[in-house]
Chain A
Amino acid sequence: MFLRLALKSLLNRRGSVLLTLMAMTVSVSVLLAVEHIRHQAKESFANTVSGVDLIVGARTGSLNLLLYSVFRIGSPTNNIAWESFEDIASNPQVKWAIPITLGDSHKGYRVMGTTQDYFEFFSYGNQHKLSFDKGHAFKQVFDVVIGSGIAKTLGYSLGEELILSHGIASTSFSLHDDRPFNVVGILEPTGTPIDQTLHVSLEGIEAIHIDWKNGVKIPSSHITTDQIEALELKPKTITAFMLGLKSRMTTFRVQRDINQYMKEPMLAILPGVALSELWQIMSILENTLLLVAVLVFIAALLGLSAMLLSSIRDRSREIQLLRVIGAPPSFLFLFIELEAVIITLSSIVLGAGLLSACLITAQDFLISRFGLNIGTNILSESTLYFAFSMLAAAIVAAAIPSLSAYSRAKSIQG
């Protein structure tokens, strides 16, 4: 009866209650979004690369190297010579080495040139190896393996012919349209930027640029595809490479050796350390966002409190009637608190639903644009903790109107 009374009372004031509910819902979804995205971003970044001991690129900031080589965010400052890669890869401490070349794209998706070792040694998440949903790794020069996200979004299947673009803009006018690639493999979903990447061989990258100079195709060049395949397509430069070492104990020594490499300035980073740096920088932004979200929620709570307080002023006859039929002042206190709890719980449910809907809508965009795989399941220990905290805060905020109802009920008593 108590619950039904509170629900019907709220329905009776549906105009003001609806506006308050909307304000609360938006504030709850903002707060939950900040918390969820904060956690998911960390998890997503941490899951993107595992088992890689060192990432090596041209000398730049460690964060920049990490972002462009692993997350496909930003651009490399320079390339490194193939000979340098071969030299370091031949180090007896190195178990495997995966070269990568970036710089081309297909309909806004990044193209990564690499070797077959990538499919053998690279792992993500909790040491998960890459696996094929369909097809196999590239074998020919113009073979391409696509991520699951691309296959899903662009509707590609095996045997499809793709044209790569020069550069990484989503609309490029410099197309490698004379040398189409053939889809030979589609990877299983990984929940990482790999899903949004096209993988081709280093030879393939060399082949499409063989008659290009300074980003433009040489007009007089008429090299055919058959002629290209007959050539030895050894890359001259690569963007970066990943190293797996035989022993973790040697990581710092190999890192130091690379950083002091005399033939070429290079930078070797430990992915975990670089990620920690990233979190350190991000923590200021995170805390600021969280503070803003909390302030928005407090503003909504004050709105709720004001709405309930003004409703009590209009409900003096109702309070009197309840008192006459034996309702103690404490009932009135709990009655107003229950109204606040109902509004807050509804807001939490609606806010969580709104957030889930937004995440489902924006998931592909976040992965392709920022390399962030934000899960749509927002149920977690931290969101539950936030939900309980919001409920507790609402109970505290509703204490003002509840006490007003209590004292009004008490004054009727004399």
Chain B
Amino acid sequence: MTISLSHVHFSYPDTPDKPVLNIPSWSVTSQEHVFVHGPSGCGKSTLLNLLSGMLAPSEGEVTVLGKRLDNMSHRQRDQFRANHIGYVFQQFNLIPYLNAVENIQLATHFSRTKRTSVKQEIEELLTKLNISPDDSTKQTAKLSIGQQQRVAIARALINKPELLIADEPTSSLDQHNRDNFMSVLMSLVSAYNITLIFVSHDMSLSHYFERIDALSDISRLGGKH
């Protein structure tokens, strides 16, 4: 099992009476590609932050790749995230003043993943993602949105994560770029045997996935426990 959530309850410290998530049980098996959908503001990003260790649950157990994140210290969760989890956002996935190669290198800085040649790995990934050598040395702010999102995939995959989290990564892309992005993403996660949690409110993307979960089914905000 890659992900296992049990009796997870989360509310922000400043609003303890307003639960954001209440998940009795939810699990994802290894290499599964899960599409999680739900309306805006229903807690999708909060769920992803719990899975990545950015947030700790108020109650309950969050197990990712066999490790209990809720028992880890902040520092341990940071290190775990750097080593095992890739993350792609809706936007602002890259440091704008660095070029594509530097952005990807930066992700390797925090990871303890063993590697032979970072530069070679980056070049290979960028080639697979159709980023030309010229574009890879440009400031990412000067790349198109589609190119930026593809560089973001490379950045998320460089540490060979077992789990990839994508938070509405296609919402700022047009139809063509969206299809392009999805086909590249799905082929890479399959090739690298990565578990994918993909969150979106765009149901038209659901056909790329073998499992589709509505957040309202995962989180039962009607009653705690």
Residues of A within 8 A of B (CB): 1-2, 4-5, 8-9, 11-12, 317-318, 320-329, 331, 410, 412-414
Contact of B189 with A by CB under 8 A: no
Chain B neighbourhood of A11, CB < 8 A: 97
The smallest beta-carbon distance between B197 and chain A, in angstroms, is 14
Closest to B94 in A: A321
Closest to B96 in A: A12
Chain B neighbourhood of A329, CB < 8 A: 74
Chain A neighbourhood of B74, CB < 8 A: 328-329, 410, 413
Q: Is the contact region of chain A dominated by helix, strand, or loop, or is it mixed? A: helix
Task: List the count of A-B residue pairs having beta carbons below 8 Å apart.
Answer: 68
Chain B neighbourhood of A318, CB < 8 A: 95
Q: Contact between B82 and A12 (Cβ–Cβ < 8 Å)?
A: no
Chain A neighbourhood of B56, CB < 8 A: 414
Q: Can you list 17 A-B pairs, Cβ within 8 angstroms, ordered by A? A: A1-B109, A2-B109, A4-B102, A5-B95, A322-B106, A324-B54, A324-B81, A325-B81, A325-B87, A325-B107, A325-B110, A326-B107, A326-B111, A327-B78, A328-B74, A331-B110, A413-B74
Closest to A323 in B: B54
Q: Contact between B102 and A414 (Cβ–Cβ < 8 Å)?
A: no
Interface string of B184-197 (1 = CB under 8 A from A): 00000000000000
Closest to B83 in A: A326
The smallest beta-carbon distance between A335 and chain B, in angstroms, is 11
Q: Contact between B102 and A321 (Cβ–Cβ < 8 Å)?
A: no
CB-based closest 10 A-B pairs: A326-B82, A326-B110, A12-B97, A414-B55, A317-B92, A325-B107, A328-B78, A324-B87, A1-B109, A8-B97
Contact of B78 among A12, A317, A321, A326 (CB under 8 A): A326
Chain A neighbourhood of B87, CB < 8 A: 324-325
| Docked complex Cα distance between A76 and B95 (Å) | 71
The smallest beta-carbon distance between A7 and chain B, in angstroms, is 10
Closest to A318 in B: B95
Closest to A316 in B: B92
Contact of B26 with A by CB under 8 A: no
Q: Contact between B54 and A414 (Cβ–Cβ < 8 Å)?
A: yes
Closest to A327 in B: B110
Q: Contact between A414 and B93 (Cβ–Cβ < 8 Å)?
A: no
| Docked complex Cα distance between A318 and B74 (Å) | 19
| Docked complex Cα distance between A286 and B104 (Å) | 54
**New A-B pairs, 18, CB < 8 Å, besides A5-B106, A317-B92, A414-B12:** A1-B106, A4-B102, A5-B102, A9-B97, A321-B92, A321-B94, A322-B95, A325-B87, A326-B78, A326-B81, A326-B110, A328-B75, A331-B110, A413-B74, A413-B77, A414-B54, A414-B55, A414-B56
Interface string of B105-116 (1 = CB under 8 A from A): 111011100000
